[in-house]
Structure formats: structure tokens, C-alpha cells
Structure 1
Amino acid sequence: METGISRRKRDLPPAHYKLKIKSYSLLIQSEAEKYDSGVFETGGHKWSLSLYPNGNKSSSGNGYISLCLVIEETDTYPHGWEVLVDLKLFVFDQIRDKYLTIQDADGAFRRFNEMNTEWGFGQLISEEIFNNSSNGYLVNDSCLFGAEVCVINHTHTWESLSMVKEPRNGTFTWKLENFSTLNKTSYVSPAFLVGERNWFLTVYPKGNGTENGKSLSIFLKFESLSIFLKFEDTPANRAVYADHILRMLGMLNKKKEYASDKHWFSASSNDWGYPSFISLKELNNASNGFIVNDTITIEVEILVLSEIKVFRSENTEEA
């Protein structure tokens, strides 16, 4: 007999569903592997019962009657769904007017999900005990089974991390015009969206920090707040990884760039780049062709980007 199973009798009938069968012997003779009940609803979900009169052979049901609970109509459930159930199944003792209650011992639960849509007891009750009319389960060729389905109230959260190669819209080009007249310390590009985040380029025409007066500085910066708030979202306070290339484009396909740089961008480290991207001497040398019509062209290409998705689903409890 199955271990970890509790069997006891009680006066209270099943709270959610009863299945009465008349002429049970004819059901046996029909040689049907199982009988599927109608659909009933409780706990915010739809269910049915599957009765195996000759036992569910795949659940060690030889010599027993098997009874299972099946969750129905899950096609519209989100990916990764799970429903926790405190399951009780019943066989009615018609002589003593009591219900044999079969359930998992020690408060164990059954987990219904995409891989497991049917749970129950392969050894609900032995055929020998059930068929003995003095036990009260099969009287005048009739019997009654039942189910009580308590859906556990819980919030299920899980996270998915993807390292996305060549993310959509991963290349952004920015032309900074009237370069010779720029007099601010730094300039910020328009925002561009990659992977549910806004990104920016920051240019220091005369250099940043110790490179002031020596080099042009370029940094990639991200906005730490996700612009989307939805069921499946990117957490606003999580770091984002970007393998990227910063480059300056010039005439005749000339360009200056460094090998790809890797950085985890976060609220405390939201920009990354090169204080000495190009020396002012090299930049201002007309023969190098980086200043064209008093305009410089900066480009960033994001090669790999991390994307975090958090999935949340809530179940409700109904006793």
C-alpha cells in the first residue's frame, strides 16, 4: 500500500464534488480504463475526477481502485503556472454513514503545473475491501466517491535571466553638430531604447577629469528605471550587463574604436566608457577626417545584453 497516505473516516461529506455510480458491475464489464467525471469549479480553477475501476496500472494500482483529480482548461494560464492543492478524496461507507477520507499525510500538497495536470491515489482502496458489501462501500451495486479541493493561497514568483546576443535596435548613431562652438562641459544624446531600458551617450568635448584639455571623453549610460510596468517586467533596481563597442566614425569609412567592453550597469555604476577616447590633437587633425562639416559622429553597438524577467502569479484559496 502507498506510504505517506492518511486514511480516516469522518461524518462531513465532501465539500466540492460527489460522483455516484449505479450498476457499478456493468461499468467494470465495459472494460473502460477510466471514467472521467464532469467539470466542476472551485478555488478559481476547473477540475474533473478520473476513476480507474480496475486501477491505474501506471500508479501501482493493480488490485486497487484509483481516483485522480485533473485540472482542466489551462490553455490560457501563463507559462510557469503552478497551483498548490490540499487534496482529499472520499469513498462513502453507506452502512455507517461515514466517509473514508484519503489524503497525503504530514500536510503534504499536490503541485499542479504544465508537467503534472493529474494527481491522486493509485491505491485509493483495495478491490477486496471495496467489493466486500459488509464494509459498506459497494451496496446494491452502487457506490459514491467524492473530492475536496483546497487551493492554497500563495504568490509564485520566478526569475529568468537571458543573455541576448545582438539585441534589437542595439546600434545607435549620434551626430554632434557645430562641434567647434560647443562650450559646455558635456553633452548628452537623445535616449535610445534597448532591452526595456533607455540608454544615452555622454560626450565631454574637452575631456573629463584628468583628461580635461587632453582628450575627448565618451561614456555609455543607462537609465536605472525600467520604462515598462507590467505583469512580466524588468526589475528597476537590478544590474544590466552590456558587452558594447564605442566608436567614432570619420570620412571614407574611417573609424576609431576599442575592443568590446563589458560592464554590469546599475544604479550605483550607471555609466562606462573612456575618459581618453581620442586625443584632441588626433581629433583636430583634419587629415584624420573625424570632424566633417563641423560635426562628429559617435556610435555605440551593444553586442550582448542581459534581460531579466520576473513572473508573478497569484492563486486564491477556497475551502
Structure 2
Amino acid sequence: MGSSSSDIVASTLAKKWREHPPSSFSLKVDNFKQLEKFASTSDDKYQSRLFSSGGYNWKLIVYPKGNEKDNGKGFISMYVEIDSKSLTSAPQREVFAELIFFVYNKKEKKYLTIQDVEVQRFNPLKTVWGLQQVLSSDSFNNPESGYVFEGDQCEFGVDDVVPSPLTNWEILSFNEKPENPKFSWTVKNFSPLKEDKYTSNTFSMGARKWLVVLWLYPKGDSRADGKWLSLFLLLADSDKPKADEKIFTLATLRVLDPLGSNHSEHKLNHWHNEKNFGWDELNVEIEFEAVSATKYSPII
């Protein structure tokens, strides 16, 4: 039913004190010695009533003298069992759960919690999981320890947390070899241009098929004091990033030399559409080296 004690202690078992009681189920026993006595009539274990957690029904199982069949002799053994009807009626026939077992200590006024940090898998062939050596019987029954109190009372419990299905995710990829990576724009009669801003046609680039707009300021952008020719690479309004979305671009922006030898180049390397300052017919070219694409789940 459980993993070997040595494996758990060496790798995944975590014990700590906690003041907050269990949130899934609590079993309070008024007379532990009677539980030990009468459990022999039911395979040395006590099974709680069904309780609901994470949309499934479960039982808490306690072996007051330990589960000898699972190397638990001389210890308190605790398990949870998923109701088989919950599995057959569920959309999936496999359930993952995070389990924390509780034993109350009156002396400490806290709960000793024991957790295997690995998420456990339940299915029709594996309906029970637990810990065969929660506490030694000697330590548990010692009146000085505080686990048995006010005559012969004690308390066990479990937090049985079934994680919700994954609903928020994203997949990031980089297209480092875009098909037809270059876009060229020729501005006719550049010298007499009088407008402050000129916009190229939109074009697609990268597997995401996003649209990019190239802006040209013949007299320079106002932020450059009108002394520079300014070029910007921007996403088109129709395909701007969604909230908190980032798009990476690695590209080279060029103002082409008509003689073909002294091009003016500026490297773009950004996670967002930052502005990029550039430099009768003007030839402008941009060559993409990589474009990111992100697939993600719906967000608020």
C-alpha cells in the first residue's frame, strides 16, 4: 500500500508541527484502548465514514496497532482510500492527490503532520495510499508524549487536496529561420517630403503571422530634436500584444546605399516593440533573424 519506510524517510517524507487543524477530515477517538481492542474484528483497522474532498469521496483508515501486512507492526499506520464509485462516475479514472496526515498532541497544543511530498495517483487498481509507520506505538501511548490525553482520547486527521486541472499556461517558441525574412520599402522622391510621418504597408513575419508597421520620419522624431532620420518597428494596431504578452524580435534594420556598399544598419534585439532610431529615393530594408511566438491559456 505504501512505500517502504526507508525510502520515504530518505527522500520524500516531511514532518512538522502545525496549529491549524486538518481541513479535509478529523477523527476523534474517546477511548483509544477500546479502538485497539475492537479493531481486531475488522482486519486490525478502523475505516471512517466517507468524506468529500476535491469532488471525490474518501475514507480515512487507521491501524491502531500498525498494519503488519505493510511493515507497520509496532507503529500507528494511516491511509486514505478513494471510493471506487467516485472513480467510475468521474470523467477521468485517475485522480492525483496531495496527502498530509495529522496526529494531535495535547502537550504541544499542535498537530504533528506527516506528508509524502510526492503527489499520489489513485485509480481503479490503486485505491489506497498511506504511511505504514506514522508514529511508533511506544511513543504514541506514552502519557508523557501528549498524543493520548484526558483519559484515553486522541485525534487523527488528513488533508486530502486534489489539485484543480491546469487552466493557465503558455508555450514560448522562437522561429530563428523565418521564411522570406526580408521586407523592403522604397520611398520615392524623398527630398521634397513634407509630412512628419510616413507609414509603410503592413507585412507578415514569423509563424505567428503578426503584422509590423515601419514608420519613417524624414525630419527626425521630436524626441531626437529633429536632427536625425528616425525609423520605428511597431506592431500593427490589428495585432498588438495582449495584456502582459511579450514578443521578441531579432532583426537588422538597414537604410540601403544606392551604390550597394555602404548600408547604414541598426540591430534590433527587443522583447517588445521599442522605438529604434535610424538614419531623390530612399531604400529601407529590415531582415528578421528570430521572432518569438507564445501560445497561452485564457487569462482574466
TM, length-normalised to structure 2:
0.49
Structure of greater relative contact order (alpha carbons < 8 Å, 6+ residues apart): 1
Higher strand share: 1
TM, length-normalised to structure 1:
0.46
